[in-house]
Amino acid sequence: VTEAASILVIDDEPHARALLQMTLGQEGYCCLRASTGLEGLRAAEASAPHLVILDLGLPDLNGVEVTRRIRERSAVPIIVVSASGQEKDKISALDVGANDYVTKPFSAGEFLARVRVALRPFAAVAEGTPQTGTSTFGDLSIDFDARRVARGGRLVRLTPTEYKLLCVLIGAVGRVLTHQQILRQVWGPRHASEMNYLRVYMKRLRLKVEDEPMRPRYLLNELGVGYRFQSPD
């Protein structure tokens, strides 16, 4: 983004809003603010921001509802901010189209990293879009044309399902995908609740791709939510 990216912060808590504005302002982002869900929806439409930061605990509208209504009209990236005890809402918001989340309390560094990822133009998103060429992340490289994966220069043999799982996650590099989103994309909508498939295949994939499968560098677990492919660079 060449011009200063504009970011809409929807949060009813004045201190939290001011703090986010300060954090974002210091990085040169232009910050817009709204204190209710309805005000946020109006601002999202009127000023077409590059990114929306949405607190899930708004007084007037449920954050999931706000996400859904924004998504009906726009593809703007949305990061939801959730507190302990809002796990269900957080997952629902992601399922209806939010791009990522942060859990309160979070550090400024963690928050800004999420903002940078969300502002990055979307790479080939797995659903439908074919991935082409070769991508490299740390010592892992994927040749999409030859459907070949190598780690540290050595070929890694993946089954078709393992390969598909890896591609879906890489398609959203840096962003979290919920269990449902992954199951739907890899196994199809009828298997959206077959968590066991996902657990078993993720375990196998980690054994092949990670040095220490229990302390993964690439295939990160977002507890109770889903998975995130993290590029080490």
Partner 1 sequence: MAFAVPNLKDGVTLVSMVAVAAAISIAVGRLRKQALLAERQAGIESLRNTMLSALSHDLRTPLAALVSASTALTQDGVESRIQPQLVRMVASEAYRLNRIVVALFDLTRMQGKALTQGHPLQSIDELIGAALTRLEPQLAGRQVRAEVPEEAPLISCDPILIEQVLVNLVENAVRHAPSSPIEVTAWGRGGEMFIEVADRGPGIPHGDEDRVFQKHYRARSSVGHDGLGLGLTICRAIVTAHGGWIMMRNREGGGAKVIVRLPLRQDVFDGGSP
- Of the pair 69, 175, the CB lying nearest partner 1 is at 175
14 touches 35 (CB < 8 A): yes
What stretch of H or E contains 68? helix 63-73
Tell me which stretch binds partner 1 (CB under 8 A): 27-35, 169-177, 181-189, 192-200: 192-200
Stretch that binds partner 1, among 53-61, 62-70, 144-152, 198-206 (CB under 8 A): 198-206
Nearest to 40 by CA among 15, 7, 18, 16: 7
Least distance in angstroms from the C-beta of 108 to partner 1: 12
- Least CB distance to partner 1 at residue 200 (A): 8
Our finding on whether 155 is near partner 1 (CB under 8 A) is no
Q: Is 57 in the site for partner 1 (CB under 8 A)?
A: no
The CB-of-206 to partner 1 minimum distance in angstroms stands at 8
Near partner 1 by CB under 8 A, which window of 68-76, 88-96, 112-120, 199-207? 199-207
Q: Give the Cβ contact number of residue 195 at 10 Å.
A: 12
Geometric angle at alpha carbon 224, from 160 and 123, rounded to 5° = 50
CA distances from 24 to 33, 126, 131 (A): 12, 30, 33
Residue 149 β-bridge partners: 142, 156
Instruction: Name the residue nearer to partner 1 (CB basis): 64 or 202.
Output: 202
Query: Using DSSP, how many helices (H) and how many strands (E) does the chain show?
Result: 8, 12
Judged by CB under 8 A, the residue of 37, 49, 77, 216 near partner 1 is 216
By CB under 8 A, is residue 195 in contact with partner 1? yes
Total Cβ atoms within 10 A of residue 4: 13
Q: Does the protein bind partner 1 through residue 203 (CB under 8 A)? A: yes
Q: How far apart are CA 147 and CA 144, in angstroms?
A: 5
85 near partner 1 (CB under 8 A): yes
Q: Is 157 in the site for partner 1 (CB under 8 A)?
A: no
When binding is defined by CB under 8 A, the residue of 46, 146, 155, 223 that contacts partner 1 is 223
For partner 1, which is the closer residue by CB, 136 or 221? 221
Question: 3-state DSSP call for residue 70?
Answer: helix
Of residues 168, 164, 42, 176, the one with CA closest to residue 118: 176
Binding site for partner 1 (CB under 8 A): 84-85, 87, 105, 179, 195-196, 199-200, 202-203, 207, 213-216, 220-221, 223-224
